[in-house]
Amino acid sequence: MASRSAPRIVPIALALALALAALAAYHRLGGRLSSVENIERLTLDLRFRLRGPVPAGHAITIVAIDDATLVRYPRLLERRAAFADLIDAVAAAKPAVIGVDAVLADRELLLGEELEASIRQQVAATPRADDPATQLLRRVATEIDGDLSLERSIRAAGNVVLGFTIGARGEPLRDDPALRKGRYDQSMLGPRPPPSASLGLVSLPEFNAAAHALGMITVTVDHDQTARELIFARRYRDAVYAPLAVPLLAAYEGATAGSLAYLGGEQKIRIGSREVELSDDDRMILNFRGPAATFTTISAADVIDGNIDDALAGKIVLIGITYLGHDRARIPFGSLFPAIELHATAIDNMIAGDAIRRSSPLTDAALCALLGLLASLLFLRRFDAWPALRFGGIALLACGHTAATLLAFTAYDFWIGLVWPLAAIVIIGSVGLAAAYAGEAQQRRWLRRSFGQYLGGETLDQLLADPGGLALGGARRDLSVLFSDIRDFTSISETLSPEELVELLNRFLTPMSEAVLSRGGYLDKYIGDAVMAVYGAPVRHADHAERALGTAIAMQQAVDALNPELQRQGRDAIEIGVGVNSGEVVVGNMGSSERFDYTVIGDAVNLASRFEGLTKIYGARCLVGEATRSKASTRFQFREVDRVRVKGKAEPSALFELLSGPGGVLATYTALPIFAAALAAYRGGDLVAARKGFAEFAEQNPDDRTTALYLERIADLGESAPPGFDGVTTFRSK
């Protein structure tokens, strides 16, 4: 039956190939098939990640207004005079050109417009007065002249390029003759002129007038909020405007005045003698060098302090904001990519001449038709006897085209369409295989009717899909769970305003989260000031216990680094306790059919939480369970502190204090064997020997809270242990 129906498959497959090729051409020529384009762009992201990071050029250096700047120079984002100091410091380092990824659109009004005008008028009216009041007014006038200071700094530098935005957001653009500094000198529109816009944001006219040039800093993202391209042409009135990267490169390469050209008919721009090809809609598809911090980045605080030697000399310097995750974008390599690096990437692409080029609509359509034709040929009658050949041929076509697109991308920076050709292979292959197997099924039914009395039908058609995988529930898995919490957080929060409390939590949780994520942990949730993390799920890690222990050490080190900053601000130092436990838990999506979370539940999870709560009682920075200690290598050192029976658990659990590991040291003690011997005596009921051992250990380690705790317990018990004493401590509250 299959052999007689096979000839009809090929014409159908060929018709499908041509139809899909036509759809591919329609899509690439502007058809509204956004879902297909979204998938194609996701494959572009995958190509970047498979290719991996590549070295960036050395022409660009970023001066970042980062977290360190915010701590050392908090006025930099508040006062124009402080920003002027940064411009002066950068200019003093003799860069080739300075780009500012910001729009300085509003005037600095510290005291109100009328009051500032009155102060300036009074100072101007008494130029020779020397009385204290006039001197004070002069100081105030100097303080409120931040805009003037910044204008002078921009003008004095002589090579500053300021940013502005044009697009669908903002406000009507003001009439500013200096906007001509952001235009292409020559504009030749093609059949598809650049999109026109009348909204945007521009800096104050005096800043634009003082600047060497202007450039667009408009950043657009795709439907998935990922930035992959940069706009290189937008129309406003009768002119075409260029992005920040263009005047920066022109200044760096010494392009002569009038040499910036937009060539719309050729989909190119020209910077002096350099020509740069653009993609559809006059954009550049960025060839990202890697994730964040790919380009040389220097803190603005270090620039102001003069700690940079000649790091900026002769460079294209980009000034932008990166502090606390501000002005970030998602790119193919991930999120939290500084937007300033988008402009750096565009410049580096132009210098290297390796911006991503996309295949033409005709190329994508032709590939779709060709691969569809090859897939169709697999269903000729001569291949009926070899169904595995058809499967293998379809797989080979799909893998071969995928490998070819990856090779073209990694070796030649060429983006060849993947979705439509693969769709042609998969759809035609699926239709062909379905038709072929329908014929075989018809033949099997005939055989069953004819030979059913001789053969059983139990062996036929037993491959069924299992829909249960989509249901709510979880799987049992051995993994590690970590809990951390700020000690006495309630007391701390009562001394802070809500704003200060939020700021403290953000500063605390940021390094805590980094400690978890950098070690492959899953950040399950924040519970106020507490953190819950899981290791070994959803990604399996055989060393999940060591990853959790390394995180505990990193968390404590992060707190040690944070406390000096808090104390300099007049705040109390904070302490955290960390509990880690390992064991079998249930992990998976849990909740209702409409809302669920990926999390873990089980006794091992509850014990980890209890261990964290016990850190304060035992004066330990990190307490771990016996399963975690047994899974850890000899690189980690522990001290057994107790056997405890927590609320809700009948069986006692051994409790260990984490002392050190490859990442650092949490606690050090002298004469640990004495403590171990005293602990053994205590559990054996020999309280006299235990008291002597703990007292001797306490003399050498006077600050050890655990030893003091045992001495208190022994004092309460007296000279001998009661009958049935097992040395286990029972806690009846959480």
User: How many CB atoms neighbour CB 196 within 10 A?
Assistant: 11
Give yes or no: residues 130 and 174 share one domain: no
Distance between CA 279 and CA 588 in Å, rounded?
43
Decide: 519 and 551 in contact? Cβ < 8 Å.
yes
Distance between CA 556 and CA 621 in Å, rounded?
8
User: How many CB atoms neighbour CB 407 within 10 A?
Assistant: 12
- Please report which confidence band the pLDDT of residue 2 belongs to, taking 50, 70 and 90 as the band edges: very low
Give yes or no: residues 637 and 681 share one domain: no
Decide: 383 and 13 in contact? Cβ < 8 Å.
no
User: How many CB atoms neighbour CB 420 within 10 A?
Assistant: 26
Decide: 379 and 395 in contact? Cβ < 8 Å.
no
Looking at per-residue pLDDT, the higher value among 129 and 146 belongs to 146
Q: What is the pLDDT of residue 432?
A: 76
Distance between CA 523 and CA 555 in Å, rounded?
14
* Amino acid at site 623: L
Distance between CA 734 and CA 732 in Å, rounded?
7
Secondary structure of 456-481 in the HEC alphabet?
Answer: CCCCCCCCCCCHHHHCCEEEEEEEEE
Give yes or no: residues 414 and 512 share one domain: no
For 533-542, 578-587, 628-637, 697-706, which range has the lowest pLDDT when averaged over its residues? 533-542
Distance between CA 452 and CA 474 in Å, rounded?
43
In the three-class reduction of DSSP (H, G, I as helix; E, B as strand; rest coil), residue 367 is classed as: helix
The rounded percent of the chain whose pLDDT value lies above 70 is: 88
For 176-190, 345-359, 451-465, which range has the lowest pLDDT when averaged over its residues? 451-465
Decide: 640 and 706 in contact? Cβ < 8 Å.
no
Phi, psi of 254 (to 5 degrees): 70, 35
The torsion region of residue 561 among left (phi > 0), alpha (psi -120 to 50) and beta comes to: alpha
- Please report which confidence band the pLDDT of residue 428 belongs to, taking 50, 70 and 90 as the band edges: confident
Distance between CA 522 and CA 534 in Å, rounded?
5
Q: What is the pLDDT of residue 402?
A: 94
> Angle formed by the axes of helices 603-618 and 705-717, to 10°?
90
Give yes or no: residues 25 and 84 share one domain: no
Rg (CA), the chain: 35
The rounded percent of the chain whose pLDDT value lies above 90 is: 58
For 326-335, 431-440, 641-650, which range has the lowest pLDDT when averaged over its residues? 431-440
Looking at the domain assignment, is residue 176 inside a domain? yes
Q: Which residue from 243, 268, 262, 255 is spatially nearest to 318, judged by alpha carbons?
A: 243
Average of per-residue pLDDT across 603-627: 94
Give yes or no: residues 219 and 327 share one domain: yes
The model's pLDDT over 716-726, given as tens digits with 9 standing for 90+, comes to 888 888 888 88
Q: What is the pLDDT of residue 454?
A: 27
- CA dihedral (554, 556, 561, 567) in degrees, to 10, reads 160
Give yes or no: residues 332 and 219 share one domain: yes
Residues facing residue 171 across a β-bridge: 200
- Please report which confidence band the pLDDT of residue 594 belongs to, taking 50, 70 and 90 as the band edges: low
Q: Under 8 Å CB-to-CB from 728, ≥6 apart: which residues?
A: 643, 644, 645, 652
- Please report which confidence band the pLDDT of residue 291 belongs to, taking 50, 70 and 90 as the band edges: very high
243-269 exposure pattern, b = at least 16 Cβ within 10 A, e = fewer? bbbbbbbbbbbebeeebbbbbbeebbb
* Amino acid at site 597: D
- In the numeric block, which tokens belong to residue 494? 């009562």
Average pLDDT, the chain: 86
User: Which residue do the tokens 């035609």 mark?
Assistant: 428
pLDDT at 458 over 70: no
The domain spanning residue 503 has which CATH number? Answer: 3.30.70.1230
Distance between CA 464 and CA 433 in Å, rounded?
17
Given 340, 357, 374, which residue is the final one in a domain? 357
Distance between CA 480 and CA 515 in Å, rounded?
15
Half-sphere exposure of 284 (CA within 13 A, CB side): 30
Q: What is the pLDDT of residue 69?
A: 94
Looking at the domain assignment, is residue 686 inside a domain? yes
Decide: 288 and 212 in contact? Cβ < 8 Å.
no
Distance between CA 344 and CA 60 in Å, rounded?
7
Domain count of the chain?
Answer: 5
Give yes or no: residues 273 and 309 share one domain: yes
Looking at the domain assignment, is residue 607 inside a domain? yes
Distance between CA 465 and CA 442 in Å, rounded?
22
Phi, psi of 231 (to 5 degrees): -70, 130
- Please report which confidence band the pLDDT of residue 512 belongs to, taking 50, 70 and 90 as the band edges: very high
Looking at the domain assignment, is residue 456 inside a domain? no
pLDDT at 654 over 80: yes
Give yes or no: residues 210 and 348 share one domain: yes
- In the numeric block, which tokens belong to residue 327? 């002005």
Give yes or no: residues 348 and 369 share one domain: no
pLDDT at 468 over 50: no
Looking at per-residue pLDDT, the higher value among 712 and 190 belongs to 712
pLDDT at 497 over 80: yes
Q: Which residue from 92, 231, 223 is spatially nearest to 163, judged by alpha carbons?
A: 231
- Please report which confidence band the pLDDT of residue 415 belongs to, taking 50, 70 and 90 as the band edges: very high
Q: What is the pLDDT of residue 473?
A: 56
Secondary structure of 579-591 in the HEC alphabet?
Answer: EEEEEEEEEEEEE
Looking at the domain assignment, is residue 497 inside a domain? yes
Give yes or no: residues 335 and 405 share one domain: no
For 9-13, 122-126, 485-489, which range has the lowest pLDDT when averaged over its residues? 122-126
Q: What is the pLDDT of residue 12?
A: 79
Q: What is the pLDDT of residue 702?
A: 94
User: How many CB atoms neighbour CB 567 within 10 A?
Assistant: 11
User: Which residue do the tokens 């208190």 mark?
Assistant: 712
Q: What is the pLDDT of residue 437?
A: 65
Given 626, 646, 665, which residue is the final one in a domain? 665
Give the domain range for residue 687: 669-734
Looking at the domain assignment, is residue 39 inside a domain? no
C-alpha separations of 630 from 477, 626, 661 in Å: 17, 6, 14
- In the numeric block, which tokens belong to residue 645? 């029976």
Residues facing residue 484 across a β-bridge: 531, 578
Give yes or no: residues 95 and 133 share one domain: no
- In the numeric block, which tokens belong to residue 687? 């309280």
Phi, psi of 158 (to 5 degrees): 75, -5
Looking at the domain assignment, is residue 2 inside a domain? no
Average of per-residue pLDDT across 575-591: 89
Looking at the domain assignment, is residue 651 inside a domain? yes
Q: Which residue from 371, 364, 370, 367 is spatially nearest to 429, judged by alpha carbons?
A: 371
DSSP code per residue over 291-343: STT-SEEEEHHHHHHT--TTTTTTSEEEEEE-GGG-SEEEETTEEEEETHHHH
Distance between CA 683 and CA 206 in Å, rounded?
81
For 98-107, 220-229, 293-302, 379-388, which range has the lowest pLDDT when averaged over its residues? 379-388
Residues facing residue 579 across a β-bridge: 483, 623
Residues facing residue 645 across a β-bridge: 730
Decide: 536 and 600 in contact? Cβ < 8 Å.
no
Give yes or no: residues 186 and 250 share one domain: yes
- CA dihedral (420, 425, 428, 432) in degrees, to 10, reads -170
Q: Which residue from 80, 217, 254 is spatially nearest to 153, judged by alpha carbons?
A: 80
Q: What is the pLDDT of residue 701?
A: 95
Helix (H) / strand (E) element for 608: namely helix 603-618
User: How many CB atoms neighbour CB 390 within 10 A?
Assistant: 19
Q: What is the pLDDT of residue 173?
A: 82
pLDDT at 172 over 60: yes
Decide: 340 and 320 in contact? Cβ < 8 Å.
yes
Looking at residue 634, what DSSP letter applies? T
The model's pLDDT over 300-337, given as tens digits with 9 standing for 90+, comes to 999 999 999 899 999 999 999 998 778 889 999 998 89
The model's pLDDT over 202-245, given as tens digits with 9 standing for 90+, comes to 999 999 999 999 999 999 999 999 999 999 999 998 899 999 99
Q: Which residue from 430, 446, 418 is spatially nearest to 378, judged by alpha carbons?
A: 430
Given 357, 379, 404, which residue is the final one in a domain? 357
In the three-class reduction of DSSP (H, G, I as helix; E, B as strand; rest coil), residue 386 is classed as: coil
The model's pLDDT over 19-61, given as tens digits with 9 standing for 90+, comes to 888 998 888 887 768 899 999 999 999 999 999 999 999 999 9
Residues facing residue 590 across a β-bridge: 597
Distance between CA 161 and CA 156 in Å, rounded?
13
H and E: helices and strands count for the chain:
22, 30
